[in-house]
DNA sequence: ACCGAAGTTAGAACGGATTCTAGTAAGTGT
DNA sequence: ACACTTACTAGAATCCGTTCTAACTTCGGT
């Protein structure tokens, strides 16, 4: 449930050799592939290890718990979202419009692999991890709202984080089958228009 | 992970005899006691059964999964919050002030048993359950904000639910040790003042 | 008071995450 | 090249949620 990436494979440092980087990549890829089939259940540690071609013990050396593995997979998804946004930035004219744009783009991305999304979101919420979804998503929202993270005052940071929280909950409701894409859009728009109302255009 | 309380012990109906009600009570009490020690981990099904003086199989007849058990425990906590609010309604003059009052009262209640709170919140977020926290809390917020649930239009319902979502996330951050009580209060106030701004006084 | 259905019990059994062990391979410094 | 620390492997072992089994009890109807 915890365990900080200390020595072995911190996202950046700690990987000495090329083969270790490749092992890590293979593991993440196997994990994502399995999860996008049957969700967390299908993503069994033994299966991941087998499919990645490493021993179970090695898998646990790279990712001390299943949660750590899930978190790493999510990290990759977020990387993809961020680069997608860099490539094609939200075009809306208001800060809240841009925020909604980004959130709905993320929603569509996650909807494409519902099992994966379900597994990832839930795991994230559970994780004791530092800087999981919340913070990264809030930072992203601040940026698309037009503020560098450094320039935001506390109130703005709180509001951006709040919008992130609302989105996460809506996503969860969607995964439970209680929201459609359109529901989410409407609800996020309502919340965003209030929360980001007085952000500088 | 699912299983609706169908025949055996629905919160209200289905319990025929007095001894069944008492069994249910003993189980819930044992579960809460264990969870308020070591959290979910300490609340092992075998241990709960033992401490409640029932067989493991019986425990599973009453609560088809650990999650169902957790949800039931949370339900009781929410009952207590609601009756506390009925006894001493929030006194603030504005709708958002009253909402903050209720949320912070709930926060204090949960802080008293952090392990329990942690277990419960996380489990709830994960649960596939109908009408768990979110809805009940949102309804409660609507009511203290001064609207009967029936009278609220969709926008108001969304805003109340959003505030509930923000609160849940803040609670999670607190349980992760990343927020103090004062942090939460400040942040909830900020979010509430935006989200409930134009509610009728 | 008696019967069958439903509820309970003790305990074994199963599945998947995590841990542990002993031995083998790879990488580093001298 | 040699010694040594570190990484990896195969597999057994442990822990806990959940399921299953067979026998025992309790309850409602007669």
Torsion of CA A75, A80, A81, A82, to 10 degrees: 90
Q: Tell me which residue of A29, A37, A75 sits closest to A54, measured CA to CA.
A: A29
| Contact state of A173 with B128 under an 8 Å Cβ cutoff | no
Confidence category of residue B128, pLDDT binned at 50, 70, 90: low
Chain D footprint bases within 7 A of protein beta carbons: 7-12, 16-22, 26-28
Q: Does B158 touch chain A if contact means CB atoms closer than 8 Å?
A: yes
- How many Å lie between the alpha carbon of A80 and the closest alpha carbon of chain B? 24
- How many Å lie between the alpha carbon of A111 and the closest alpha carbon of chain B? 18
Q: Is the pLDDT of residue A8 over 90?
A: no
Across residues B163-172, what is the average pLDDT? 91
Q: Does domain A18-65 have CATH number 1.10.10.60?
A: yes
- How many Å lie between the alpha carbon of B92 and the closest alpha carbon of chain A? 22
pLDDT digits (tens, 9 = 90+) for A166-186: 998 898 888 878 899 999 999
Domain ranges of chain A: 18-65, 67-195
Q: Which is higher by pLDDT, A145 or B132?
A: A145
Residue with tokens 């701004």: B197
Q: Does B40 touch chain A if contact means CB atoms closer than 8 Å?
A: no
Contact pairs from chain A to chain B, CB under 8 Å = 68
- Residue A43 CA to residue A58 CA, distance in Å, equals 16
Q: Which two tokens stand for residue B65?
A: 């999964």
Torsion of CA A71, A182, A112, A9, to 10 degrees: -10
pLDDT digits (tens, 9 = 90+) for A82-134: 999 999 999 999 999 999 999 999 999 888 888 788 877 777 776 665 556 77
Residues of B with Cβ-Cβ distance to A173 under 8 angstroms: 134
Beta carbons of B147 and B199 less than 8 angstroms apart:
yes
Q: Is the pLDDT of residue B110 over 90?
A: no
* Mean pLDDT, chain A, whole residue set: 85
| Contact state of B128 with A172 under an 8 Å Cβ cutoff | no
Query: Cβ neighbours of residue B100 under 8 Å, at least 6 residues apart?
Result: B92, B185, B188, B189, B192
CATH topology of domain B18-66: Arc Repressor Mutant, subunit A (1.10.10)
Q: Is the pLDDT of residue A137 over 90?
A: no
CATH topology of domain B67-195: Tetracycline Repressor; domain 2 (1.10.357)
């Amino acid at each position: 449930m915890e365990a900080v990436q200390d020595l072995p494979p911190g996202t950046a440092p700690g990987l000495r050799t090329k083969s270790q980087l490749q092992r890590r990549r293979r593991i993440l890829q196997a994990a994502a592939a399995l999860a996008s089939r049957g969700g967390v259940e299908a993503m069994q540690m033994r299966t991941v290890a087998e499919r990645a071609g490493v021993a179970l013990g090695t898998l646990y050396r790279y990712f001390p718990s299943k949660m750590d593995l899930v978190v790493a997979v999510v990290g990759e998804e977020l990387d993809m979202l961020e680069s997608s946004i860099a490539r094609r930035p939200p075009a809306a004219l208001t800060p809240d419009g841009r925020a909604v744009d980004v959130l709905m783009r993320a929603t569509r991305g996650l909807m494409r692999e519902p099992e994966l999304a379900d597994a990832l979101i839930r795991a994230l919420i559970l994780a004791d991890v530092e800087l999981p979804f919340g913070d990264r998503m809030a930072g992203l929202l601040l940026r698309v709202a037009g503020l560098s993270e450094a320039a935001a005052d506390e109130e703005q940071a709180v509001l951006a984080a709040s919008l992130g929280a609302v989105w996460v909950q809506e996503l969860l409701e969607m995964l439970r089958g209680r929201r459609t894409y359109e529901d989410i859009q409407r609800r996020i728009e309502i919340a965003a228009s209030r929360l980001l109302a007085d952000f500088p255009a």
